[in-house]
Structure 1
Amino acid sequence: MRAVSSFWRKQQQAWAFGRSRSAAFSTSNVKIFDRQLKRTQRDRAAWLSHEHSHEHDPLLTSVSQNLLDRLQDCKRTFPAALCLGGSLQPVARALSSPPHNGGVEKLIVVDASYDMVRACKEASHHHAVETHFLVGDEEFLPIKESSVDLVVSCLGLHWTNDLPGAMIQSRLALKPDGLFLAAILGGETLKELRIACTLAQMEREGGISPRLSPLAQVRDAGNLLTRAGFTLPGVDVDEYIVKYESALELIEHLRAMGETNALSQMNHILKRDTALATAAIYDSMFSEEDGTVPATFQVIYMTGWREHPSQQKAKRRGSATISFKDIQKQFGSQS
């Protein structure tokens, strides 16, 4: 049993600060996700990862590496970095390992789960940079404005009720010309499980209820960056196909990642018959020749910068000195 410590009292003050700060730019009062349930799930994920040695999950590690590879394309360094939730440990490990960490000298690690922060802290004895650990919610970010050069969120923001508001808070935490890197799960994620679960519910219950989280579409990502006020927005997408021995192994992996459903209006009790039917339909419809079943994870990568006078800017509309028709004629005459 965990005792309430002075650490928690400090966190309550930080959360209060974050809530008052976020009220000014919250864009929605809709509560899609149960954030307390999500914290509980991430507490469980921290325990499962430690218990079953999943600290180096191949999927989470690959997504984190692909996200942080974008730092190698930047000609500047990022002395102060903020790491938010989601795939916390792989990102923290990478940002704490010079020389390919973007020049990070100070790292702040934030997660809504006390146990996840503690697990990350216990694994931090190899960190080569100054590292601080903080319990805080992405929806009420307890970080000073203009205090960091880099914000990284890997597979965490898709669980926020107000995604634009959370991204705005990240932008405000950045110094001018600071970089925002984020990876979120896209709408094609777990499409096989969605199909199997829908068919099982219709067969066993005569109707369907939401069992999987709604996720953003690729076309929405650019609008999210612009709406949050980032400049030079960039979006790209990747798909990861992970093979499992069975559908039940996939569910266990989702629990270990903290990616199980947290919808506020969800009926939390899934009937045993429906769960078994879902697994049977999944295995029947999607099993491959080697006996494994695939699961699709669509990851949307987002890049944005806080505005700075040195950044490139679009020319004023109508200021062009040559038309597309002239360009077409020029290239047409050369062919």
Structure 2
Amino acid sequence: MSQPPAPLFSSARHRAQRDRMARQPAGADFLAPIIAETLLDRLSMVTRDFARTLLIGAHDAALIDHLRGTGTALTLVEAGPGLAAATGAVESEVNALDLPFASFDLILWPGGFDSVNDVPGALVRLRALLAPDGLLLGSFVGDGSLARLRRATMADGVRPIARMHPQVDLAAMGNLLQRTGFTLPVVDVEALTVRYADWFALVRDLRAAGLSSRLAAAPPPLTRDEVARIALAFTAQADADGRIAESFRLIHFSGWAPHPDQPRPARRGSGTASLADALKPRPDQG
């Protein structure tokens, strides 16, 4: 009997990161309000109310307050035990959510999708939690992000050890939503550029946003020499003003739980127009 694959990410490190986020000063996580604003903007374009909402992650107090202000019945899920206790959230990883099926009309997931061990399993579980015609809406830092940091970690004299997470791209996200039974999937990307004075400022931002490594095979700590080499390689990519422009590519996604009244794609072969006829030149084209 084959053994299940070893987990790529550490749940213990994830929980510790989440609780560390709860202890940091307000505003330290610069990404949280950006993602929240984007999700709320997209939600405002949906012309219906959501009576029951599940929010994955209890770190953004402003987002929680906004959702409660809409009158929705809000349930919070949080992996960090300290943060869950402080906010009244259900303490759970997404993969292990044990809530009644079809109990939510809206699920918001502002970050964290990219470091789930069983991504298809998590999406299947979330789809089961949605009532028919319920909406899943989320964002995460995706493929193409932190390109300058990745180059810096490959500087001469730095051990070639995996320290950064693999990244999910746009096409893979769309395929995952379709494979796991969501209808009307939409996936797009927003490019965000942040300019840093040095590598240490970027590291502080990544820790504050919960984006530092949670790989199960924890890499050994960097030596002083490696830190110096990475910092120098990062600074070498600076613009003329001495600041380094780093990229964050935010992938936004949405999908609906199936419902009979939703629009459906036309059946293949049901078209009445001929492609060959459409490509024929018109009389005025000679």
| Alignment TM-score > 0.5, same fold | yes
- Show the counterpart of 1:46: 22
Given the superposition, is the C-alpha separation of residues 89 and 166 from structure 1 closer, same or farther in structure 2, using an over 3 Å criterion?
farther
Q: CA deviation at 1:284?
A: 1.6
Aligned equivalents of 2:46 and 2:6: distance in 1? 37
- Show the counterpart of 1:281: 233
Secondary structure class of the residue paired with 1:92: helix
Q: CA deviation at 1:90?
A: 4.5
1:233-286 alpha-carbon deviations (Å, 9 max, x no partner): 11101111112221101101111111100111232422221112111110122x
Q: CA RMSD in A?
A: 2.1
Aligned equivalent of 1:36, options 12, 27, 33:
12
Given the superposition, is the C-alpha separation of residues 284 and 180 from structure 1 closer, same or farther in structure 2, using an over 3 Å criterion?
same
Given the superposition, is the C-alpha separation of residues 274 and 60 from structure 1 closer, same or farther in structure 2, using an over 3 Å criterion?
same
Report % sequence identity: 32
TM-score, scaled to structure 1: 0.78
Query: 8 Å contact 1:30–1:161 — kept in the other structure?
Result: no
5+ residue gaps, structure 2:
none
Q: CA deviation at 1:310?
A: 0.4
Aligned equivalent of 2:76, options 109, 116, 119:
109
- After superposition, residues 64-143 of structure 1 pair within 5 angstroms as 64-85=36-57, 88-98=60-70, 104-118=71-85, 121=87, 133-143=89-99
Letter in 2 for 1:92: I
More deviation, 183-192/301-310? 183-192
Aligned equivalents of 1:226 and 1:294: distance in 2? 35
Q: CA deviation at 1:309?
A: 0.4
Secondary structure class of the residue paired with 1:180: strand
Aligned equivalents of 1:96 and 1:298: distance in 2? 29
Aligned equivalents of 2:240 and 2:283: distance in 1? 54
- Show the counterpart of 1:184: 140
Query: 8 Å contact 2:15–2:79 — kept in the other structure?
Result: yes
Aligned equivalents of 1:86 and 1:249: distance in 2? 25
More deviation, 134-143/166-175? 134-143
- Show the counterpart of 1:8: none
Given the superposition, is the C-alpha separation of residues 238 and 54 from structure 1 closer, same or farther in structure 2, using an over 3 Å criterion?
same
Aligned equivalents of 1:218 and 1:310: distance in 2? 28
Secondary structure class of the residue paired with 1:75: coil
Aligned equivalents of 1:305 and 1:267: distance in 2? 38
Query: 8 Å contact 1:60–1:90 — kept in the other structure?
Result: no
How many residue pairs get aligned? The number is: 282
Query: 8 Å contact 1:46–1:256 — kept in the other structure?
Result: no
Letter in 1 for 2:111: L
Given the superposition, is the C-alpha separation of residues 33 and 316 from structure 1 closer, same or farther in structure 2, using an over 3 Å criterion?
same
Aligned equivalent of 2:161, options 209, 212, 217:
209
Aligned equivalent of 1:308, options 247, 259, 262:
259
Aligned equivalents of 1:334 and 1:228: distance in 2? 49
Aligned equivalents of 2:72 and 2:170: distance in 1? 33
- Show the counterpart of 1:263: 215
Aligned equivalent of 1:236, options 188, 211, 227:
188
Q: CA deviation at 1:141?
A: 1.1
Given the superposition, is the C-alpha separation of residues 290 and 221 from structure 1 closer, same or farther in structure 2, using an over 3 Å criterion?
same
Aligned equivalent of 2:123, options 167, 188, 200:
167
Query: 8 Å contact 2:31–2:209 — kept in the other structure?
Result: no
5+ residue gaps, structure 1:
1-27, 99-103, 122-131
Letter in 1 for 2:10: D
